[in-house]
Amino acid sequence: KQLGDAVAKFTEVQRHTTQQAQDRANRLKKVRWASSSVDEYQGMKAFILGWTEKAQSLVTGNIIWSSAFQLQEQIRAHQLKKCAFKRDCQSDM
């Protein structure tokens, strides 16, 4: 009888220990998942903050937004100046 009681008690302790080990393993998995989520969050946060800084510099800068037509006119004017300058330089030679 004593042996049977000892085996029953040992079995109960073993079951309890196994359950505790499983619970700890599950908590460890959750902690690892949380840590990985925090790392991912930090990366996304840094990425977003970087783009926010770029957007702020665009907003606060003295940027003159021109229409496509105005840009084309500026390009043509610049090209005409280049051509005139080349002609002047060639005639001097």
pLDDT at 92 over 60: no
> What is the predicted pLDDT for the residue at 59?
76
pLDDT at 91 over 70: no
Chain centroid to Cα 53, Å, comes to: 14
Q: What is the pLDDT of residues 21-63, one digit of tens each?
A: 999 999 999 999 999 999 999 999 999 999 998 888 877 776 6
The answer to whether 66 and 74 have CB atoms below 8 angstroms apart is yes
Structure tokens given for 74: 């500026």
**How far is Cα 58 from Cα 46, in angstroms, rounded to an integer?**
19
- Three-class SS string for 23-34? HHHHHHHHHHHH
**Tokens 């977003």, residue?**
48
Total-model pTM: 0.46
